[in-house]
Structure 1
Amino acid sequence: MIQKIGREYFAGNGVIQTLYPGLALSNGDTGIGSIGRIDHAMSNRNGTIPMHPHINDEILSYFRSGKILHKDSEGNEVMIGKDRMMLMQAGKLFYHEETGKSEDEIFEGLQIFIRPAVKDLTPKVTFWDLDQLHSENKWRLVASHNDNNQFQFSSETWIYDIKLTKGSSIGLPSLPKMGLTCLLYVFKGEIEINDMNLQKKEAVIIKDEDIEISTNEGAELVLFVTNEEATIYKDGMFSGNKY
């Protein structure tokens, strides 16, 4: 199966636009497996999102430009940005606050809401200082399920990224097991997949298909992989089946 998700599946027209990927499938679920929702944030303004709660969400902060000051109920006060990612595993209850520190640089990135395997886990926050900002023409495993990676989800979820240079092409990475569902998201640039064109803020669902991804001008991609047969908790505060 290959199915395109266009920009019409985004909600919101402001600084943050939210993709509910399951709406493209019309199966009564706003997410796909453990992939709850994806927020694409972009702003040239500084400001504060005040302290607010999360319950049973696992949130990967994937920012590619700008910086924000993160504060949370676990006592962390850390600057995050393009060279430092963060995974917040909210569990039973967790609070955090974000203040933009972009200065002259446009702030842009993703807040990725993943559904946990079970409810009410112990809250945990993990940071990762990247050795390289991008992984050029090679898939990088950003987060995984129990694979000794820096970021580990409780559910069977894997996230990869890649920066494709002009005129390059690649297939999917070698996946952990058979039967997984992939959601390929264009963060920047434009690509062709099996004669299908995708531009920034568009995505495609891929399952049990061989594909080739190519780009003429270059692109930055994020690949979400989920096991739709695995146990997940679907009633997280933001990641849950809500719209």
Structure 2
Amino acid sequence: MDDSSSTRHRSHVHTAPRTDVSQDQGKFRIHFNFPGRALPNHDDHGYGPLATVVESFMDPGTLIRMHQHRNEEIISWVPDGVMRHDDRQGNELVTDPDHLLVMNAGSGFWHAEETLADDPPLRMLQIFVRPHSLDLEPGIQHEPIPDSVTNEWRHLFGPEGTDAPLSVRNDVDCYDCRLDAGSTTTLPSRSGWHAYIYVFEGAVDVGDESVGYTESALVTDDGDVTVTATQDSTVVAFVINPDAPVTRQGTIGR
């Protein structure tokens, strides 16, 4: 029997352990997840326009002083607690489970981040997307996001010109999902694009591969892939055009 068809449509899932790339600045700690490192012999720590997914911790009463980003799109996803933002454009914004923050840094954007002494400890993701062109117009988006529905994907951001709640200037869509233990969903997909999934809480099976707490997986085709929670889980998925033109001069997300 010729099984070439089933082989052709089998998903290629490459798992990656918890990252060992981190920085400890006392009250502010970060762990860099590099999607390209999940793929053997891949010559880029990023994967197409997705440069890195950073797990960030801020203790109560932490101030990250005003600093500049250039030539990267920075998305702050806060599933619990608050992250307080101010910038040289006069914005004072609070990002929490009901809001998403996107800094389109472009030619240069200055901002600061803070938690107050009576804020809860903060654990969030800061996502760095490589823009398609250098020195674009800088700007910021801070918008409410749809309510989360258990066991369903929620669209958070996508390329400019799409129906995503917020936008970035390259070909990346981002979704999150809270899965009950034992529940199964299908990883978001788009024809010709690949996917990267990060387990923020819990543990899941991506296809036939187990992916635990703070681990990740890169899916290098666009076939249907199941995600099954083996524990109550929160996962974030990125659908990526691997052939998108990218720049690599971001302040952090190179």
Normalization by structure 1: what TM-score?
0.91
1:106 counterpart residue number: 121
Please, which of 116, 134, 147 is the counterpart of residue 119 of structure 1? 134
1:178-217 mapped onto 2 (5 Å cutoff): 178-208=191-221, 209-217=223-231
1:150 aligned partner: 165
Larger Rg: 2
Distance in 1 of aligned mates of 2:119 and 2:211: 29
Deviation at residue 193 of structure 1 after TM alignment = 2.1
- Whole-Å separation in 2 of the counterparts to 1:217 and 1:201: 13
Alignment match, 2:13: 2
Residue in 2 aligned with 1:224? Answer: 238
Report the CA distance between 1:161 and its aligned residue.
0.8
SS of the aligned residue for 1:65 comes to coil
Instruction: Please report how far the alpha carbon of residue 144 of structure 1 lies from its aligned counterpart in structure 2 after TM superposition.
Output: 0.7
Structure 1 residue 9, shift from structure 2 partner? 4.8
Amino acid at match of 1:108: R
Q: For 2:224 and 2:94, how far apart are their aligned partners in 1? A: 40
Q: Which residue of 1 aligns with 2:112?
A: 97
**CA-to-partner distance for each residue in 1:113-172, whole Å, 9 max, x for gaps?**
00001111111101112342x331111111011213221111111101111112211111
Q: In the alignment, what sits opposite 1:236?
A: 250
Contact 2:60 2:119 in 1 (8 A): no
Aligned partners of 2:117, 2:51: CA distance in 1, in Å? 27
C-alpha contact (below 8 Å) 1:165/1:217 kept by paired residues? yes
Aligned match for 1:160, one of 175, 178, 182: 175
Native 8 Å contact 1:67 1:102 kept in 2 = no
**Aligned with 2:203: secondary structure?**
strand
After superposition, give the CA deviation of every residue in 1:80-113 in whole Å (9 maximum; x if it has no partner).
Answer: 2222210000000111000113736221110000
Distance 1:201 1:13, change over 3 A: farther
Q: TM-score, normalised by structure 2?
A: 0.87
Q: How does 1:47-86 map to 2 (within 5 A)?
A: 47-86=62-101
Per-residue CA deviations over 1:164-196 (Å, capped at 9, x if unaligned) read 1122111112x3x41111101101111112332
> Contact conserved, 2:59 with 2:115, CA < 8 A, in 1?
no
* TM-superposed deviation, 1:27: 2.4
Q: Provide structure 2 residue ranges, at least 5 long, that are not aligned to the other structure.
A: 1-11
CA-atom RMSD, angstroms?
1.7
Identity %: 27
Give the secondary-structure state (helix, strand or coil) at the position aligned to 2:78.
strand
Aligned residues: 237
Change (3 A) 1:44 1:196: same
